[in-house]
Amino acid sequence: MGLLLKIFIPLLGGALAFYFYSAPQSFNEEMLRGKRVIVTGASSGIGEQMAYHLARMETHLLLTARTESKLQKVVQRCLELGAASARYISGSMEDPSLPEVVVKEAENTWGGLDMLILNHIGSSGVSYFNGDIGHIRKLLETNFLSYVAMTASALPMLKESDGSIVVVSSVAGKVSSPFVAPYSATKFALDGFFSSLRQEFIMDKVNISITLCILGYINTESAVQAVSHIIKGTPAPKEECALEIIKAGVLRQQELHYPPWLVGSSVLLRSIAPEFLDSIIRSNIKVENIGRTSPPGQ
Protein backbone atom coordinates (compact mmCIF):
# COMPACT_ATOMS: atom_id res chain seq x y z
CA MET A 1 0.00 0.00 0.00
CA GLY A 2 2.82 2.39 0.86
CA LEU A 3 4.54 1.81 -2.49
CA LEU A 4 1.25 2.21 -4.32
CA LEU A 5 0.66 5.51 -2.58
CA LYS A 6 4.11 6.74 -3.52
CA ILE A 7 3.41 5.97 -7.18
CA PHE A 8 -0.27 6.84 -7.49
CA ILE A 9 -0.48 10.20 -5.72
CA PRO A 10 2.30 11.95 -7.67
CA LEU A 11 0.79 10.63 -10.90
CA LEU A 12 -2.63 11.90 -9.90
CA GLY A 13 -1.19 15.26 -8.92
CA GLY A 14 0.65 15.52 -12.21
CA ALA A 15 -2.49 14.64 -14.17
CA LEU A 16 -4.54 17.24 -12.32
CA ALA A 17 -1.85 19.86 -12.72
CA PHE A 18 -1.68 19.12 -16.45
CA TYR A 19 -5.47 19.34 -16.77
CA PHE A 20 -5.92 22.60 -14.89
CA TYR A 21 -2.74 24.47 -15.77
CA SER A 22 -1.50 23.08 -19.09
CA ALA A 23 -4.74 22.94 -21.06
CA PRO A 24 -4.59 24.27 -24.64
CA GLN A 25 -4.12 28.01 -24.46
CA SER A 26 -5.65 30.74 -26.58
CA PHE A 27 -2.73 33.08 -25.99
CA ASN A 28 -1.71 35.36 -28.82
CA GLU A 29 1.16 37.83 -28.67
CA GLU A 30 -1.09 40.43 -30.28
CA MET A 31 -2.96 40.61 -26.97
CA LEU A 32 0.00 42.50 -25.50
CA ARG A 33 0.95 44.80 -28.34
CA GLY A 34 0.91 48.37 -27.10
CA LYS A 35 0.02 47.41 -23.52
CA ARG A 36 1.56 49.32 -20.62
CA VAL A 37 3.38 47.00 -18.22
CA ILE A 38 5.35 47.42 -15.00
CA VAL A 39 7.80 44.63 -14.15
CA THR A 40 9.57 44.66 -10.78
CA GLY A 41 12.76 42.73 -10.08
CA ALA A 42 13.58 43.10 -13.77
CA SER A 43 17.38 43.35 -13.75
CA SER A 44 18.04 39.60 -13.65
CA GLY A 45 16.48 36.14 -13.48
CA ILE A 46 12.82 35.63 -14.30
CA GLY A 47 12.07 39.37 -14.29
CA GLU A 48 14.73 40.03 -16.91
CA GLN A 49 13.40 37.22 -19.10
CA MET A 50 9.84 38.54 -18.79
CA ALA A 51 11.07 41.95 -19.90
CA TYR A 52 12.62 40.43 -23.04
CA HIS A 53 9.49 38.44 -23.90
CA LEU A 54 7.32 41.52 -23.40
CA ALA A 55 9.68 43.61 -25.53
CA ARG A 56 9.29 41.18 -28.43
CA MET A 57 5.52 41.58 -28.03
CA GLU A 58 5.93 45.35 -28.51
CA THR A 59 4.72 46.48 -25.11
CA HIS A 60 5.53 49.68 -23.25
CA LEU A 61 7.77 48.74 -20.33
CA LEU A 62 8.62 50.32 -17.00
CA LEU A 63 11.21 48.21 -15.21
CA THR A 64 12.46 48.47 -11.66
CA ALA A 65 15.12 46.74 -9.58
CA ARG A 66 17.93 47.59 -7.19
CA THR A 67 20.91 47.71 -9.57
CA GLU A 68 20.86 50.61 -12.01
CA SER A 69 23.72 49.37 -14.21
CA LYS A 70 21.92 46.06 -14.84
CA LEU A 71 18.61 47.82 -15.50
CA GLN A 72 20.24 50.06 -18.10
CA LYS A 73 21.46 47.01 -20.01
CA VAL A 74 18.06 45.31 -19.81
CA VAL A 75 16.28 48.43 -21.07
CA GLN A 76 18.70 48.75 -23.98
CA ARG A 77 18.15 45.12 -24.92
CA CYS A 78 14.38 45.56 -24.69
CA LEU A 79 14.52 48.44 -27.15
CA GLU A 80 16.63 46.33 -29.51
CA LEU A 81 14.05 43.53 -29.29
CA GLY A 82 11.21 45.81 -30.35
CA ALA A 83 9.64 47.25 -27.20
CA ALA A 84 7.24 50.10 -27.96
CA SER A 85 9.09 51.98 -25.22
CA ALA A 86 11.24 51.04 -22.25
CA ARG A 87 12.38 52.96 -19.19
CA TYR A 88 13.48 52.16 -15.66
CA ILE A 89 13.53 53.32 -12.06
CA SER A 90 16.23 51.89 -9.80
CA GLY A 91 15.78 51.47 -6.08
CA SER A 92 15.18 49.00 -3.28
CA MET A 93 11.71 47.91 -2.26
CA GLU A 94 12.94 48.15 1.32
CA ASP A 95 12.25 51.86 0.79
CA PRO A 96 8.50 52.16 1.54
CA SER A 97 8.20 55.17 -0.78
CA LEU A 98 9.44 53.38 -3.92
CA PRO A 99 6.21 51.53 -4.88
CA GLU A 100 4.27 54.77 -5.15
CA VAL A 101 7.13 56.43 -7.04
CA VAL A 102 7.15 53.66 -9.65
CA VAL A 103 3.39 53.70 -10.16
CA LYS A 104 3.37 57.51 -10.36
CA GLU A 105 6.00 57.32 -13.09
CA ALA A 106 3.72 55.02 -15.09
CA GLU A 107 0.82 57.43 -14.65
CA ASN A 108 2.89 60.46 -15.69
CA THR A 109 4.43 58.66 -18.67
CA TRP A 110 1.51 56.67 -20.04
CA GLY A 111 -1.58 58.03 -18.33
CA GLY A 112 -2.62 54.50 -17.43
CA LEU A 113 -1.53 50.92 -16.78
CA ASP A 114 -2.62 47.54 -18.17
CA MET A 115 -0.52 45.01 -16.27
CA LEU A 116 1.39 45.06 -12.99
CA ILE A 117 3.90 42.22 -12.62
CA LEU A 118 5.22 41.93 -9.05
CA ASN A 119 8.37 39.84 -9.11
CA HIS A 120 11.00 41.41 -6.80
CA ILE A 121 12.36 39.57 -3.79
CA GLY A 122 14.50 40.20 -0.72
CA SER A 123 17.36 37.83 -0.05
CA SER A 124 17.09 35.20 2.64
CA GLY A 125 19.44 32.29 3.17
CA VAL A 126 18.68 28.60 3.56
CA SER A 127 19.49 27.79 7.17
CA TYR A 128 18.10 26.91 10.57
CA PHE A 129 15.95 29.69 12.05
CA ASN A 130 18.08 31.63 14.52
CA GLY A 131 15.43 33.88 16.06
CA ASP A 132 16.31 36.97 13.98
CA ILE A 133 13.01 38.88 14.05
CA GLY A 134 14.61 41.92 12.44
CA HIS A 135 15.36 39.86 9.33
CA ILE A 136 11.72 38.77 9.10
CA ARG A 137 10.51 42.38 9.39
CA LYS A 138 12.88 43.39 6.60
CA LEU A 139 11.69 40.53 4.39
CA LEU A 140 8.05 41.38 5.02
CA GLU A 141 8.69 44.94 3.85
CA THR A 142 10.28 43.79 0.60
CA ASN A 143 8.49 40.53 -0.19
CA PHE A 144 5.00 41.41 1.01
CA LEU A 145 4.24 44.98 2.06
CA SER A 146 5.76 46.54 -1.06
CA TYR A 147 3.57 44.24 -3.19
CA VAL A 148 0.50 45.48 -1.33
CA ALA A 149 1.61 49.12 -1.52
CA MET A 150 2.26 48.97 -5.25
CA THR A 151 -1.07 47.27 -5.85
CA ALA A 152 -2.91 49.91 -3.83
CA SER A 153 -1.26 52.70 -5.81
CA ALA A 154 -1.98 51.05 -9.16
CA LEU A 155 -5.64 50.13 -8.53
CA PRO A 156 -7.20 53.32 -9.95
CA MET A 157 -5.40 52.89 -13.29
CA LEU A 158 -6.02 49.13 -13.41
CA LYS A 159 -9.73 49.67 -12.79
CA GLU A 160 -9.89 52.03 -15.77
CA SER A 161 -8.10 49.57 -18.07
CA ASP A 162 -9.69 46.35 -16.72
CA GLY A 163 -6.11 45.36 -16.11
CA SER A 164 -4.20 42.50 -14.56
CA ILE A 165 -2.03 41.92 -11.51
CA VAL A 166 0.55 39.14 -11.67
CA VAL A 167 2.10 38.05 -8.37
CA VAL A 168 5.21 35.89 -8.64
CA SER A 169 5.38 33.61 -5.62
CA SER A 170 6.83 30.23 -4.70
CA VAL A 171 5.84 26.71 -3.82
CA ALA A 172 7.26 27.69 -0.40
CA GLY A 173 4.14 29.86 -0.11
CA LYS A 174 1.84 26.87 -0.56
CA VAL A 175 3.80 24.01 1.00
CA SER A 176 5.89 24.26 4.16
CA SER A 177 9.58 23.53 3.77
CA PRO A 178 12.33 23.47 6.39
CA PHE A 179 15.18 25.99 6.54
CA VAL A 180 13.29 28.81 4.77
CA ALA A 181 10.87 29.87 7.53
CA PRO A 182 11.24 33.68 7.11
CA TYR A 183 11.03 33.51 3.31
CA SER A 184 8.12 31.05 3.41
CA ALA A 185 6.17 33.32 5.76
CA THR A 186 6.25 36.18 3.26
CA LYS A 187 5.11 33.95 0.42
CA PHE A 188 2.20 32.50 2.41
CA ALA A 189 1.23 36.11 3.16
CA LEU A 190 1.07 36.88 -0.57
CA ASP A 191 -1.31 33.97 -1.12
CA GLY A 192 -3.55 35.07 1.73
CA PHE A 193 -3.74 38.72 0.72
CA PHE A 194 -4.09 38.42 -3.04
CA SER A 195 -6.46 35.43 -2.98
CA SER A 196 -8.69 37.36 -0.59
CA LEU A 197 -8.46 40.51 -2.71
CA ARG A 198 -9.46 38.53 -5.80
CA GLN A 199 -12.64 37.43 -4.05
CA GLU A 200 -13.43 41.04 -3.17
CA PHE A 201 -12.98 42.09 -6.79
CA ILE A 202 -15.36 39.37 -7.97
CA MET A 203 -18.02 40.29 -5.41
CA ASP A 204 -17.65 44.02 -6.15
CA LYS A 205 -17.66 43.40 -9.94
CA VAL A 206 -14.21 44.96 -10.33
CA ASN A 207 -12.76 43.64 -13.58
CA ILE A 208 -9.14 43.27 -12.46
CA SER A 209 -7.61 39.81 -12.65
CA ILE A 210 -5.10 38.52 -10.11
CA THR A 211 -2.78 35.69 -11.14
CA LEU A 212 -0.74 34.03 -8.40
CA CYS A 213 2.31 32.27 -9.86
CA ILE A 214 3.51 29.35 -7.73
CA LEU A 215 7.03 28.51 -8.88
CA GLY A 216 9.29 25.61 -8.07
CA TYR A 217 13.06 25.43 -8.54
CA ILE A 218 14.02 27.67 -11.49
CA ASN A 219 17.51 28.02 -12.95
CA THR A 220 18.04 31.67 -12.12
CA GLU A 221 21.55 32.52 -11.03
CA SER A 222 20.45 33.48 -7.52
CA ALA A 223 18.36 30.33 -6.99
CA VAL A 224 21.03 27.97 -8.27
CA GLN A 225 23.68 29.65 -6.12
CA ALA A 226 21.46 29.50 -3.05
CA VAL A 227 20.11 25.94 -3.18
CA SER A 228 21.89 23.78 -5.78
CA HIS A 229 24.10 22.29 -3.06
CA ILE A 230 21.16 21.75 -0.73
CA ILE A 231 18.27 20.25 -2.70
CA LYS A 232 18.17 17.37 -5.12
CA GLY A 233 16.66 17.95 -8.52
CA THR A 234 17.14 19.83 -11.77
CA PRO A 235 15.93 23.41 -12.06
CA ALA A 236 13.41 24.40 -14.74
CA PRO A 237 14.38 26.95 -17.42
CA LYS A 238 13.80 30.60 -16.52
CA GLU A 239 13.04 31.59 -20.11
CA GLU A 240 10.09 29.21 -20.38
CA CYS A 241 8.94 30.05 -16.86
CA ALA A 242 8.88 33.76 -17.70
CA LEU A 243 6.77 33.16 -20.80
CA GLU A 244 4.31 30.98 -18.89
CA ILE A 245 3.90 33.73 -16.29
CA ILE A 246 3.07 36.27 -19.00
CA LYS A 247 0.59 33.90 -20.66
CA ALA A 248 -1.15 33.19 -17.35
CA GLY A 249 -1.49 36.90 -16.65
CA VAL A 250 -2.84 37.73 -20.09
CA LEU A 251 -5.31 34.83 -19.96
CA ARG A 252 -6.36 35.99 -16.47
CA GLN A 253 -5.76 32.64 -14.78
CA GLN A 254 -6.19 32.50 -11.02
CA GLU A 255 -3.03 30.45 -10.50
CA LEU A 256 -0.06 29.22 -12.46
CA HIS A 257 1.90 26.20 -11.22
CA TYR A 258 5.34 25.85 -12.78
CA PRO A 259 6.72 23.30 -13.39
CA PRO A 260 3.08 22.14 -13.52
CA TRP A 261 3.50 18.46 -12.64
CA LEU A 262 5.87 19.07 -9.74
CA VAL A 263 4.18 22.06 -8.14
CA GLY A 264 0.67 20.79 -8.89
CA SER A 265 1.30 17.43 -7.26
CA SER A 266 2.91 19.11 -4.23
CA VAL A 267 -0.11 21.36 -3.70
CA LEU A 268 -2.46 18.39 -4.04
CA LEU A 269 -0.47 16.24 -1.62
CA ARG A 270 -0.50 19.02 0.95
CA SER A 271 -4.27 18.60 1.15
CA ILE A 272 -4.65 14.84 1.00
CA ALA A 273 -1.38 13.41 2.35
CA PRO A 274 0.57 16.15 4.17
CA GLU A 275 2.79 13.85 6.22
CA PHE A 276 3.76 11.92 3.12
CA LEU A 277 4.60 15.16 1.34
CA ASP A 278 6.68 16.36 4.29
CA SER A 279 8.68 13.15 4.20
CA ILE A 280 9.37 13.58 0.48
CA ILE A 281 10.53 17.16 1.02
CA ARG A 282 12.85 16.18 3.86
CA SER A 283 14.31 13.29 1.88
CA ASN A 284 15.29 15.66 -0.94
CA ILE A 285 17.32 18.00 1.26
CA LYS A 286 21.04 17.54 1.85
CA VAL A 287 20.91 18.40 5.55
CA GLU A 288 24.68 18.11 5.92
CA ASN A 289 25.02 21.23 3.74
CA ILE A 290 22.64 23.36 5.84
CA GLY A 291 24.38 26.06 7.83
CA ARG A 292 23.60 27.54 11.20
CA THR A 293 23.90 31.25 11.96
CA SER A 294 24.30 32.79 15.39
CA PRO A 295 21.29 34.49 16.99
CA PRO A 296 21.27 38.30 16.80
CA GLY A 297 23.56 39.95 19.30
CA GLN A 298 25.84 36.93 19.71
Q: Which residues pair with 89 in a beta bridge?
A: 64
Burial of 6 (0-12, 13-18, 19+ CB in 10 A): middle
Annotated catalytic residue within 52, 183, 217, 258: 183
Q: Give the DSSP H/E element, type plus range, for residue 298.
A: none
Q: State the amino acid at position 257 in one-letter form.
A: H
Q: Is 183 a catalytic residue?
A: yes
3-state class percentages of the chain: helix first, strand second, coil last, to nearest 5? 55, 15, 30
DSSP secondary structure code for residue 126 in this structure = S
User: 3-class DSSP state for residue 157?
Assistant: helix
Query: Residue 180: helix, strand or coil by DSSP?
Result: coil
Nearest one of 228, 230, 219, 211 to 259, comparing CA atoms: 219
What are the phi and psi torsion angles at 206 (to 5°)?
-90, 120
Question: CA triplet 240, 265, 195: central angle to 5 degrees?
Answer: 75
List the one residue out of 249, 232, 233 whose CA is nearest residue 241. Answer: 249
User: Catalytic positions, please?
Assistant: 183
